[in-house]
Structure 1
């Protein structure tokens, strides 16, 4: 007796070889409370149209809540007269704050 393993698409149920599949992680969706992984044939990826031209923001509120926001680049750039300069001068998210020293 032999055990046969086969892989099928979570979208269509079509069968394929392991190398025919991509893993797509759904990180946020109104019907989900946690990320979910889908196995999808590479040929099926074209059904997901990339919006592109987006800025992904993580917004951390002072009382601890955080959320992600997705904004078109053009709208994001309108928030400041020279957004390129604002971003260039912004502090990084890793390491110490600029101007701080170890005592």
Structure 2
């Protein structure tokens, strides 16, 4: 007697070998409280329309230090200010020193 294991797609139930699968992690979904992993055949990935080129991801930190990610269509983000490209380009980075500050005690 032998034990046979097989891998099937969580999306379609189609069978495949390990090297035919991609691991897909769903990080956010309505009603979901933790990330979930799906096994998906590589050709099935084409069913997911990638909108990342038209998406702006914002991390918002509130005064109480609570954080959340906000996903905005690029076109809607650019409507907030007429010169949004320039505003983002000139914004300070999140790493390193704030522009205009000096290292040390200033002497």
TM-score by length of 2: 0.83
TM-score by length of 1: 0.86
Rounded Cα–Cα distance in structure 2 between residues aligned with 1:93 and 1:2: 56
Partner residue, 2:50? 50
Runs of 4+ in structure 1 deviating by more than 4 angstroms, as ranges, are: none
20-29 vs 50-59, which moves further: 50-59
Q: Note the residue ranges of structure 1 that are not aligned, 5 or more in a row.
A: none
Partner residue, 1:85? 86
Shift of 1:50: 2.5
Partner residue, 2:21? 21
Deviations 1:14-68 (A, max 9, x none): 2111121111111101121111111100111122223341111111111111111
Partner residue, 1:12? 12
Q: Note the residue ranges of structure 2 that are not aligned, 5 or more in a row.
A: none
Shift of 1:85: 0.9
Partner residue, 1:69? 70
Shift of 1:6: 2.4
Partner residue, 1:32? 32
Shift of 1:96: 2.0
Rounded Cα–Cα distance in structure 2 between residues aligned with 1:18 and 1:71: 35
Tell me the number of residue pairs that the alignment of Structure 1 and Structure 2 aligns: 103
Shift of 1:2: 5.1
RMSD (CA atoms): 1.7
Instruction: Return the index of the structure with the highest Cα Rg.
Output: 2
